[in-house]
Amino acid sequence: MSLDCVLLGLLSRPSSGYDLKQWFSRAFHHFWAAEPSQIYRTLGRLEDHGLASVEETPSLKGPPRRVYRRTKAGRAALRAWLRDGPSMSDTRQSQLAQVLFLAELPKDAQRRFLRALLREYEARLEDLLAVAAEVEHHADPARAPSEDEFFRRLTLDAGIQQYQSWIDWIDRAIQHHAAWSATEDEPTRSAQGRD
């Protein structure tokens, strides 16, 4: 239900499914991912419900673009969603679940896992910083940002800070893990092959 709202938000400018896909792989990717198939289907649903309208226009390359724009009802739905207050979705972080069960692996595999996690987050942070730099580059430093710009930067900042916070956490985790491995170095029960 909330991908519908996200698309309605993005449709502040008329866009094709393909256009929207680009947003999802760039400025956005740190807090919402969506596959083309899902985007196209959701756009169809929006149209069915009268929240968006389509217009087919020829494209320079390939098949004609189906450009969606939101209707009055669409805008109303979006605003209702926003006015309802924060919709706190349950985040599923399988990496953390994996950390919780890491006792199932031997110590060196544990260390490898934590290091791999660190590298993952570092890579993601780097990607996001590149996006942020690009946004910054397009901006006019003399003027106060527009509303859209202001909030786009806020969400970028959120992502950057989240990743930095993860990296800090894993750094400390790796250190604690090393220290604790040293104190507890008799072979442990749970790393053995029982079951």
> Could you say which residues in the range 47-86 bind a copy of itself, by CB under 8 A?
70-72, 75, 78-79, 81-83, 85-86
Nearer to a copy of itself among residue 105 and residue 129 (C-beta): 105
Beta strand ranges found along 78-183 (DSSP E): none
Yes or no: say if 162 and 68 are a contact pair by the CB < 8 Å rule. no
14's contact among DNA, a copy of itself, none, with CB below 5 to 8 A by partner kind, is none
The DSSP result for 58-93, as a single string, is --SSSSPEEEEEE-HHHHHHHHHHHHT----PPP--
From 8, 28, 46, 65, residue interacting with DNA (rule: CB under 7 A): 65
**Separation between Cα atoms, residue 168 and residue 66, nearest integer Å:** 45
Of the listed pieces 39-47, 59-67, 128-136, 178-186, which binds a copy of itself according to CB under 8 A?
A: 178-186
Task: Pick one of 8, 11, 34, 156: the residue that binds DNA (CB under 7 A).
Answer: 34
Q: Which long-range contacts (CB under 8 A, 24 or more apart) does 179-182 make?
A: 181/107, 181/111
Residues 75-94 that bind DNA (CB under 7 A): 90, 92
**Please, are residues 79 and 165 in contact by the beta-carbon 8 Å criterion?**
no
40 binds, among DNA, a copy of itself, none (CB under 5 to 8 A by kind): DNA
User: Which residues 111-170 are close enough to bind DNA by CB under 7 A?
Assistant: none
